[in-house]
């Protein structure tokens, strides 16, 4: 039986971030205690809870590999990750606190990222709504019927006509494919599972100023990669807390199985044991508290279980997302 891997999250200060990640989650409180005085803890937009990306490479906190980075461990010991064919660790997991709206944006696919950015991965991602305001909406997809219409509406800044606003509630889940226009709106708390990429093309940013200057936009790249038509917002939303997608207690419910990852939702009650049979498995607590193999866990905590770990024992009342790479 191999040991689980405990990672130190990386907090990201953003113009649209809030204070929940620094005050309500252990990941933020640990960073505060570590004296990261250069970070404004009232403007933390993202906690990269599992990341091997150069912009935020998580450090292993304890055990045999304490002090190593996740990227370094993946390259030195590929056997811990099922000897996956990827040159770099393939996933990046975040918790996102959007105090205000994010830009309207789009991500490229692998081919475009390699050709234009020199990066191995584009960005396919998915969101799980941890919390949101009443009558919340996400921006997902657009109304343009042709690429000519899309280009005209973008050039004329007719974004309210272009975008699709999708009503969402706590527990909703949606896959965001490359080429999909999207934006997280103010008041949302999300968990994001994505490819290991940090490529974002901003289409529109509401005229927002940072240090007196508009944020950089990437209109030309966006127009090259946006899909037409795009019905993602109308077709892809899953309600995980009721209906056919709701899972019974102590049952893993598959939410997505795509080219790059699988994601399950698990709600535990009492004690539940499952075998770790994937290349690796990441378990993140979204709500509640309990323990995993005797380790106390609360909201925002995450563990990575390598290949050959054996059985995992969950105890307590928790809602978790589980994920692995394909």
Point out the domain boundary residue: 204, 239, 274: 239
Structural domain contains residue 215 = yes
Which one is catalytic: 29, 114, 155, 202? 202
Residue 1 is assigned to a structural domain of this protein: no
* Predicted pLDDT at 241: 84
Backbone angles phi, psi at 115, to 5 degrees: -70, -45
Q: Parallel, antiparallel, or unpaired for β 310-325 and 261-268? A: antiparallel
The whole-number pLDDT of residue 210 equals 86
156, part of any domain = yes
DSSP annotation string for 190-216: EEEEEES----EEEE-TT-EETTEEPP
| Tens digit of each residue's pLDDT, the chain (326 residues) | 789 999 999 999 999 999 999 888 865 555 555 545 566 778 999 999 999 999 999 999 999 999 999 999 999 999 999 999 999 999 999 999 999 999 999 999 999 999 999 999 999 999 999 999 999 999 999 999 999 999 999 999 999 999 999 999 999 999 999 999 999 999 999 999 999 999 999 999 998 988 889 999 999 999 999 999 988 766 778 999 876 667 789 999 999 999 999 999 999 999 999 999 999 999 999 999 999 999 999 999 999 999 999 999 999 999 999 999 99
- Residues 6 or more apart whose CB falls under 8 angstroms from that of 294 comprise 313
Residue 115 lies in a domain: yes
Of the three residues 186, 204, 239, the one that is the final residue of a domain is 239
Asked if residue 148 and residue 223 are part of one domain, the reply reads yes
pLDDT of res. 32:
53
- Which uninterrupted H or E stretch holds 27? helix 26-33
Same domain? For 215 and 285 the reply is: no
Looking at the structure, tell me whether residues 265 and 211 fall in a common domain: no
User: How far, in Å, CA of 115 to CA of 54, rounded?
Assistant: 19
Catalytic residue flag (residue 202): yes
Do both 268 and 193 map to the same domain? no
Q: Verify that 184 and 307 share a domain, yes or no.
A: no
Are 79 and 188 within one domain?
yes
Cis peptide before 200 (omega within 30 of 0): no
The whole-angstrom separation of Cα 285 and Cα 217 is 35
Judgement on whether residues 154 and 292 belong to the same structural domain of the protein: no
Domain membership of residue 2 (yes or no) is no
Q: Given 190, 209, 239, which residue is the final one in a domain? A: 239
Quick one: 40 and 115 in the same domain?
yes
Task: Report which of 113, 312, 79, 133 is spatially closest to residue 194, judged by C-alpha positions.
Answer: 113
Residue 84 lies in a domain: yes
Could you give the number of structural domains in the chain? 2
CATH number at residue 164: 2.60.120.10
Say whether both 263 and 224 belong to one domain. no
Range of the domain at 305: 246-325
- Are 106 and 234 in the same domain? yes
pLDDT the model gives residue 231 = 82
Strand, coil or helix: what is 266? strand
Q: Is residue 163 part of a domain?
A: yes
Residues 91 and 110 in one domain: yes
**Per the domain annotation, does 42 fall within a domain?**
yes
Residue 150 shares a structural domain with residue 57: yes
């Amino acid at each position: 039986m191999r040991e689980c891997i405990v990672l130190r999250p990386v907090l990201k200060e953003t113009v649209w971030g809030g204070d929940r990640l620094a005050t309500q989650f252990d990941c933020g409180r640990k960073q505060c205690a570590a004296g990261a005085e250069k970070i404004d803890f009232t403007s933390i937009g993202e906690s990269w809870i599992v990341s091997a990306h150069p912009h935020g490479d998580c450090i292993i906190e304890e055990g045999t590999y304490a002090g190593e980075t996740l990227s370094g461990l993946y390259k030195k010991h590929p056997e811990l990750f099922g000897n996956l064919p990827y040159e770099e660790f393939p996933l990046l997991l975040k918790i996102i606190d959007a105090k205000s709206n994010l830009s309207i944006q789009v991500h490229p696919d692998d081919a475009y990222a390699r050709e234009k950015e020199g990066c191995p991965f584009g960005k396919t991602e998915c969101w799980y709504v941890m919390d949101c305001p009443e009558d919340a909406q996400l921006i997902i997809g657009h109304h343009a019927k042709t690429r000519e219409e899309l280009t005209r509406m973008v050039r004329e800044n007719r974004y309210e006509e272009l975008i699709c606003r999708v009503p969402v509630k706590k527990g909703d889940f949606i896959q965001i494919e490359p080429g999909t226009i999207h934006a997280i709106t103010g008041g949302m708390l999300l968990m994001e599972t994505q490819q290991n990429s940090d490529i974002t093309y901003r289409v529109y940013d509401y005229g927002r100023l940072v240090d007196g200057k508009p944020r950089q936009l990437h209109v030309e790249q966006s127009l090259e990669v946006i899909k037409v038509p795009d019905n993602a917002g109308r077709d892809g939303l899953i309600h995980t807390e009721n209906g056919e997608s709701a899972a019974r207690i102590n049952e893993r419910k598959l939410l997505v199985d795509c080219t790059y990852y699988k994601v399950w939702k698990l709600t535990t009650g009492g004690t539940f044991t499952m075998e770790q049979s994937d290349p690796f498995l990441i378990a993140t607590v979204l709500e509640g508290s309990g323990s995993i193999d005797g380790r106390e866990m609360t909201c925002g905590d995450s563990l990575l279980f390598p290949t050959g770990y054996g059985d995992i024992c969950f105890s307590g009342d928790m809602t978790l997302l589980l994920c692995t790479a394909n």
